[in-house]
Amino acid sequence: MARTSTARQYRYYDFVMAAYVCILLCSNLIGPAKETSIEVPWFGTVTFLAGVLFFPISYIFGDILTEVYGYGRDRRVVWAGFGALAFASLMAAVVVHLPPSESSRANQAAVETIFGNTPRIVLASIMAFLCGTFVNSYVLAKMKIWTHGRWLWTRIVGSTLCGELVDSVLFYFIAFYGRMSPTHLAAIMFTQYALKSGWEIIATPLTYRVVAFLKRVEHEDYYDIDTNFTPFSLKT
């Protein structure tokens, strides 16, 4: 049943928020620095950015937060992640543009390669993250009401497919439109979307276990019946 938005204390909410922000920062600042290729049976060689292995975990945490604590509390975590990502991007830009000392001049090219994302890439990453994450949370919250809390797997898969689609399309369109052919851009976009969505679907059994554990220990199973779904709020 629906619960009123009261100032409750939770045992694990802060830990989930910290893990979410950590994964988000690592996947956006460390993963994109390396492109990798692996051989996949029946598909051949698949090339992708290493961050694809870890970024979908943030969506798993988004599913868990919305399912257990509700859209409002997940929204607060998303904005915390946005603030951390924006500050980290600013910090990376400052570090890259600071003049190197004589002893570290030889390492400047490596620093620029790892942390020197262009403003266009940073904008694409932040916009895609915000829009995709809020779509994911909104779809899951609405589907929970429609299904009366049953069939958790349908909410996990359905919200993932919607959120990751928005994320992938926005990121690659903003970041690379005009820099590569439309055919190549669409191929990369689809590959990343399939990999990220597939990763989360495979992890569904683990998501089930974490959700069940948190619902049990937190005594919470939130339904967003009267929730204001605007992204531009910090109210729970």
Over residues 161-166, the mean pLDDT reads 96
Q: What is the pLDDT of residues 194-236, one digit of tens each?
A: 988 998 889 999 999 999 999 999 999 999 999 999 999 998 8
Dihedral sign, Cα of residue 122, residue 126, residue 127, residue 132: positive
pLDDT value at 4 more than 50: no
pLDDT value at 169 more than 80: yes
Helix axes 119-146, 55-69, angle to 10 degrees: 30
Tell me the two tokens of residue 143: 């589907």
Tell me the two tokens of residue 74: 């997940």
Domains and CATH numbers, the chain: 13-99+111-218 (1.10.1760)
Residues 18 and 194: their CA atoms lie apart, in Å, by 27
> What pLDDT was estimated at residue 157?
95
Calculate what percentage of the chain has a pLDDT beyond 70: 96
> What pLDDT was estimated at residue 47?
73
- The pTM score is 0.89
